[in-house]
Structure 1
Amino acid sequence: MPLYRDDAIVLRTHKLGEADRIVTLLTKHHGKVRAVAKGVRRTSSRLGARVEPFMLADIQFYEGRNLDIISQVETREPYARRIAEDYSLFTAATAMVETTDKLVDHEKEPAYPQYRLLHGALGALSRREHDAGLMLDSFLLRSLAIAGYAPSFDDCASCGAPGPHRAFAIAEGGAVCEDCRPSGAAAPSPQAFALLSSLLSGEWDVADASEERARREAAGLIAAYAQYHLERKVRSLGLVDRG
């Protein structure tokens, strides 16, 4: 069997048989990989804790016909251990990996930008660099932008008319002018628009200074925007603890 090795972030796992797990990972060079971790549910297994969601590991794989097989695992960053200590961090990280799993549809196609973004986001969460909800919202916007769904928060997403504008239309791709505004478009506050823009661009001084009302507005719009463009529900977004 061909052998390969790569850095990988564990996205999710599920049981296989009595002692094994199927592990879905996002790798640095091989895109999304589904592999069998044999015997990891046994108490004697040395691999079990190393292939839990959010862990970053150096993994050796054997290529299989349907699923690859994990043969060796060396922990690179124990993000899961730090994140699991705080429920708000845990729920934010869960939403991050679920979104990544849905965005990276095809297995073994290179997805390095998404890998790099998720690596950075989980690291920032584990170090508690900012509010967990803000870090999640920034991650969602940036991951969608990488996938080609970058929203506009200034110029009109439909006609390009210079902003700022007062309306936000999810299907149109963000801020819209009065001429392009469809029925039912949201009307976020200027503070929410400013927060949305800062989360996408990484202006953390603006994001950290934002008020709770603007954060709630922005979070609702981001969740709706993400699920619209993913064309599927991100179940873990409904469980995110925003303090």
Structure 2
Amino acid sequence: MPLYREVGVVLRTHKLGEADRIVTLLTRERGLLRAVAKGVRRTSSKFGARLEPFMVADLQCYEGRTLDTITQAETLGSYGPPISSDYERYRAGSVMVETAERLSEGGPAPQQYRLLVGALRTLAQGKVPTELVRDGYLLRAMAIAGWSPGFEECVRCGAAGPHTLVVVQLGGVVCEDCRVPGAPRLDPGSIRLLAALLAGDWDTATASTERERGQAAGIVAAYTQWHLERGLRSLRGSAAHPVA
């Protein structure tokens, strides 16, 4: 059975038998990988802690008929402990890895891999507010997947902004002439925040108010779940801010 090396971030794990785990990873070259890590639930395991959610590892695996097997793991990014030790960071990280898995189901996704690793690193460092890291990741992940939202010109007619009406189903802001019934109107600062999150402009994003972050979070959650076509389990309650 051929051996190979790969670099991946652990998305989730679940138990297999008495001592093993099946580990789901997003890898740099192969996309999603589900592999068995034998004996990692034993206290004597040499690399069990390296295969926990949010960890980035250099792996050696061998190919199997149904599932590959991880034989070695060396830590490249120890983001699991600082994320898992804080409840809000853990919730945000869970949203991110679930989204990454859903967006990477079709094969290799090197851009999604790089984005996720960078976002988990930022989340673990704790220098940027948790909700901003989460929402910035979601917007950019959707953009990489081909669903880039528009927060400047009207997404229906192209009229120059600024606009404050948002229609998730159309992909961003609309002008007064293109408004649809029920379209929420956001504060101008919330629109600036959404554009900053999409661009990775942390200086502008961190200068936002709590109200602006709440409005932006509601739009990001709705936009993400609209395009994924079914809800994210880990997002329930994480961004449930009303848009008013």
Match of 2:10 in 1: 10
Alpha-carbon contact 2:218-2:239 (below 8 Å) kept: no
Answer yes or no: is 1:178 the counterpart of 2:176: yes
Do the aligned residues in 1 keep the contact of 2:167 with 2:174 (CA within 8 Å)? yes
| Corresponding residue number in structure 2 for 1:122 | 120
Q: Partner residue of 1:61?
A: 61
Please name the residue that 1:22 is paired with. Answer: 22
Shift of 1:43: 2.0
After superposition, give the CA deviation of every residue in 1:97-133 in whole Å (9 maximum; x if it has no partner).
0110111113xx2211011101111111111120011
Q: Distance in 2 between matches of 1:47 and 1:176?
A: 51
| CA distance 1:28–1:208, shift in 2 (3 Å) | same
Measured at CA, do residues 10 and 239 of structure 1 come closer, stay the same or move farther in structure 2, by a change above 3 Å? farther
For residues 82-161 of structure 1, what are the structure 2 equivalents within 5 Å?
82-106=82-106, 109-161=107-159
Q: CA deviation at 1:241?
A: 8.5
**Which of 184, 204, 207 is the equivalent residue of 1:206?**
204
RMSD: 1.4
Runs of 4+ residues over 6 Å off in structure 1: none
Distance 1:90 1:163 in 2: 36
Among residues 160, 163, 181, which one is paired with 1:165 in the alignment? 163
In structure 2, what is the Cα distance between the partners aligned to 1:66 and 1:161?
53
Q: How much has 1:239 moved relative to structure 2?
A: 4.5
Point out where structure 2 has 5 or more consecutive residues left out of the alignment. none
Q: Is the contact between residue 61 and residue 68 of structure 1 (CA under 8 Å) also seen in structure 2? A: yes
Q: CA deviation at 1:227?
A: 0.5
TM-score (norm 1): 0.95
> Which residue number in structure 1 is paired with residue 224 of structure 2?
226
* Deviation at residue 238 of structure 1 after TM alignment: 2.2
- Separation in 2, partners of 1:63, 1:187: 53
Q: Quote the Cα distance in structure 1 between the aligned partners of 2:150 and 2:2.
A: 45
Q: For the residues of structure 1 that align with 2:137 and 2:16, how far apart are their CA atoms?
A: 31
Q: Which segments of 5 or more consecutive residues in structure 1 lack a partner in the other structure?
A: none
SS in 2 for 1:168: strand
Equivalent residue, structure 1, for 2:235: 237
Residues 62-77 of structure 1: pairs in structure 2 closer than 5 A = 62-77=62-77
**SS of residue paired to 1:179:** helix
Distance 2:126 2:206 in 1: 13
- Which amino acid in 2 is paired with 1:22? I
Distance 1:185 1:15 in 2: 45
Partners of 2:8 and 2:26 within 8 A in 1: yes
The aligned length equals: 240
Task: Give the letter aligned to residue 163 of structure 1.
Answer: G
In structure 2, how many angstroms separate the alpha carbons of the residues matched to 1:200 and 1:184? 24
Which moved further from structure 2: 138-147 or 76-85? 76-85
TM-score, normalised on structure 2? 0.94
Could you list the per-position Cα deviations for residues 139-173 of structure 1 after superposition, in whole angstroms to 9, with x for gaps in the alignment?
A: 00000000011100111112222211221001101
Tell me, yes or no, if the aligned pair for 2:132 and 2:205 is still in contact at 8 Å: yes
Identical residues among aligned pairs (%): 55
**Please, which moves more after superposition, 49-58 or 231-240?**
231-240
Alignment check: 8 A CA contact 1:62 1:70 kept: yes
